[in-house]
Amino acid sequence: MNSKTVVNMLTHQYAINDPLHQLFDAVNVISVQGYDQERRVIYWNQGSELLYGYTEEEAKGKKLEDLIIPEPMREGVIAAHSDWVKHGIEIPASEAILRDKSGKDIIVFSSHVMFTNQHNIKQMYCIDIDLSDVKQAQAQAIFKDHMLETIFGAIPDLFFLMEECGTIIDYHASDDEHLYASPEQFIGNNMADVLPEEVASKFQSHIAKALQQKTMVSFEYALTMPHGVVYFEARIGLLSEYHQVMLIIRDITEQYKSAEVIRHQAYFDSLTSLPNRFLALDRLSQILIEAQRSNEKAAVFFLDLDDFKKVNDSLGHEVGDKLLIESAKRLQQVLRKEDTVGRLGGDEFIVLLRGLTEHHNALVIAENLLKTFRKPFEVDGRELVLTLSIGIAIYPKNGNCASDLLRCADTAMYQAKALGRNTYSFFTKEMNIIMQRRFEIEGQMRGALERNEFELYYQPQVDVKKGHIIGAEALLRWNNPVLGNVTPEEFIPIAENSGLIVPIGRFVIKQALWFLHLWQNTEQKKYTMAVNLSPRQFRDTELLNFIKNILKDKQIDTDSLELEITEGVLMTGQSFIHDAIVEINALGIKLSMDDFGTGYSSLSYLRQYPFDVLKIDRSFINCITENKPDCDLVKATIAMSHSLGLKVVAEGVETKEQLLLLNDLNCDFVQGYYFSKPLPAKQLLELSAAHK
């Protein structure tokens, strides 16, 4: 054993016994290593074992550079150590990437001290703190920073970090276009100093709400920017521990505008931009609440453009639309700002007047409205005269709620029409009687089917030349225990308005086809059955299937059924009606134009749709023998129908003279009291059998 070895042994001895080592032994979160002058391990605490993987036994006596110093650093470490030992040049504390037993990199913060022991031998102590957690956390923080930056850059939202009091700490924006002020104006300033007062106070109150409710709060606001008004949605998220809030601001202008369009569509008429029925009635309810509170009178006007359908139909929908737009403008011009004018649909408008002090007021306004329509309308270079019929209901005299008042005004409007149009009519109690009757009929009609109160009568149709019955028209009769016999002219329009025509119409078709089956089978002859179809029934999407099934079930040829429709059905121009007519034709069912001569009698419909039969209204047949113009018209109608390939039925034939004349005019078929009134099924069978 040489002297050097003895010194080393002693050094180790001292090292082990050093009270400092006892302290290092107790701390295992820090690695403390002692090295002698040759950098051989003389001390290796538990922390070193945990960090570098070498046990004390394995480490002791080994050289620093062989243990934990990676190859590329070795020379530098040896040189630095030697500089320190020989020249007293300290190795500064620094971060270093060392190596553990398995060869893995270990990031540490390494500090070093040099002692000279009592044998005057230098010993170096390294104190290494494991930085891997710190480094990982740092890396994660950097990653999160990058991630947030990417997110902020990719999202068009604005992000503001601010103190709870509203002072802006930081912001992120993918572009500055959405910033109301420059970044310099924002940072360090309070929202209240930068944003308009109204918007700033919205922010303050919502931040307060979020803090109070300890939850995310959102709200919307608008800012006038250089390029126009921009709508924003702000969400306030709390960073409670830091007494800060995060504002996430999104530009919702597009959304807002589309919502605005939808809102507008829901509440305003797209053609005239007037409030629609829904909004107008809502406003009426509001007016009534206010009128009740302030003890004031209000008025509801129900306006209908006279003969608009004719204009619409003769000049086309485009002209009709322009007339409606112009009418809406004229109505608005007569009224005060606080009054409302709305479009109920078609050619019907509503006017709501609030704060009426005298009954007279409504009268003056009604006269002004009529006056404003006296000036002809100019559309596409044409001068057109359009008049109005106005029904007026007064709150509280005629009713307390919107629907009652509207109904009263509607009833009064009918009265104005009956008075000859181009006038107004105030609702009276007498009109109430008419209305009551309508209500009563509607009330009684509900359940009438179930109570078997309806019956079908059949009016025969006769071939003019041969004198044979060729078929019949099914006409509905209603006998109600309360109301007695109600005429179809009275109950059919009510059934149409209430929608009850749909089940009633199905009943008619079923009964009529059932009877036709019986009739055809009894007499072994192919009769036809004409059934009236209301406009409302076209909305019954299952109707044609329903008809098809019965025809199939009863084995009736489709061309034995004739569906009668009036011009009114076609005037609406709705596509589902067009489609249904095409399908009726495709099925082989006959189509008949009813009441020809009473409405607009448009030839274009006859060309446009596949009609098989034209029925001349009885009002024309009535006077054909005495009235030459009527006779000429009927003659022309028959000739025109034939040229279009249609058969003609003359309705309401009551005399032999009429029949003879119609024969001369080449009319195909007749129907009327001259042959027979509408009859119950059994009687028609008897008549038909006798006629054979």
Ligand X SMILES: Nc1nc2c(ncn2[C@@H]2O[C@@H]3COP(=O)(O)O[C@H]4[C@@H](O)[C@H](n5cnc6c(=O)[nH]c(N)nc65)O[C@@H]4COP(=O)(O)O[C@H]3[C@H]2O)c(=O)[nH]1
Of residues 414, 413, 404, 393, the one with CA closest to residue 439: 404
Contact (Cβ atoms closer than 8 angstroms) between residue 619 and residue 598: yes
Unique residue bearing structure tokens 């489709």: 558
Ordered alpha helix ranges (H), 224-276: 253-267
Q: Is 476 in the site for ligand X (CB under 6 A)?
A: yes
CA distance 590 to 233: 61
Contact (Cβ atoms closer than 8 angstroms) between residue 456 and residue 475: yes
Q: Is 650 in the site for ligand X (CB under 6 A)?
A: no
- Least distance (Å) between residue 626 CB and ligand X: 16
Q: Which stretch binds ligand X (CB under 6 A): 5-13, 195-203, 548-556, 667-675?
A: 667-675
Which residue in the set 241, 430, 489, 626 belongs to the binding site for ligand X (CB under 6 A)? 489
Give the nearer residue to ligand X in terms of CB position, either 143 or 673.
673
Q: Is 508 in the site for ligand X (CB under 6 A)?
A: yes
Unique residue bearing structure tokens 């408008």: 349
Q: Which stretch binds ligand X (CB under 6 A): 199-207, 514-522, 547-555, 671-679?
A: 671-679
Give the nearer residue to ligand X in terms of CB position, either 288 or 593.
593
Which residue in the set 492, 500, 606, 659 belongs to the binding site for ligand X (CB under 6 A)? 492
Q: Is 71 in the site for ligand X (CB under 6 A)?
A: no
Q: Is 197 in the site for ligand X (CB under 6 A)?
A: no
- Least distance (Å) between residue 682 CB and ligand X: 18
- Least distance (Å) between residue 622 CB and ligand X: 8
Unique residue bearing structure tokens 């944003």: 195
Q: Is 534 in the site for ligand X (CB under 6 A)?
A: yes
CA distance 551 to 569: 24
Q: Is 472 in the site for ligand X (CB under 6 A)?
A: no
In the region spanning residues 602 to 641, those forming contacts with ligand X, defined by CB under 6 A, are 618
For 241-260, b where at least 16 C-beta lie within 10 A, e where not — what string?
eeebbbbbbbbbbeebeeee
Q: Which stretch binds ligand X (CB under 6 A): 167-175, 262-270, 321-329, 665-673?
A: 665-673
- Least distance (Å) between residue 440 CB and ligand X: 19
**Per-residue x/- marks for ligand X, 555-594, CB under 6 A?**
---------x-----------------------------x
- Least distance (Å) between residue 652 CB and ligand X: 4
Of residues 473, 489, 448, 451, the one with CA closest to residue 670: 473
Give the nearer residue to ligand X in terms of CB position, either 508 or 543.
508
Largest CA distance in the chain: 160
∠ CA 126-130-135, nearest 5°, is 135
**Per-residue x/- marks for ligand X, 275-314, CB under 6 A?**
----------------------------------------
Which residue in the set 25, 56, 453, 654 belongs to the binding site for ligand X (CB under 6 A)? 654
Q: Is 452 in the site for ligand X (CB under 6 A)?
A: no
- Dihedral sign of CA atoms 426, 430, 432, 437 in order: negative
CA distance 527 to 472: 8
Burial of 516 from C-beta contacts in 10 A (0-12 / 13-18 / 19+): buried
Q: Is 487 in the site for ligand X (CB under 6 A)?
A: yes
Report the relative pairing of strands 454-463 and 669-670 from DSSP bridges.
antiparallel
Contact (Cβ atoms closer than 8 angstroms) between residue 303 and residue 413: yes
Cis preceding-peptide flag for 610 (omega within 30 of 0): no
How many residues touch ligand X (CB under 6 A)? 21
- Least distance (Å) between residue 426 CB and ligand X: 31
Which residue in the set 669, 672, 681, 684 belongs to the binding site for ligand X (CB under 6 A)? 672
Binding site for ligand X (CB under 6 A): 459, 475-476, 487-489, 492, 508, 532, 534, 564, 594-595, 618, 651-652, 654, 671-673, 678
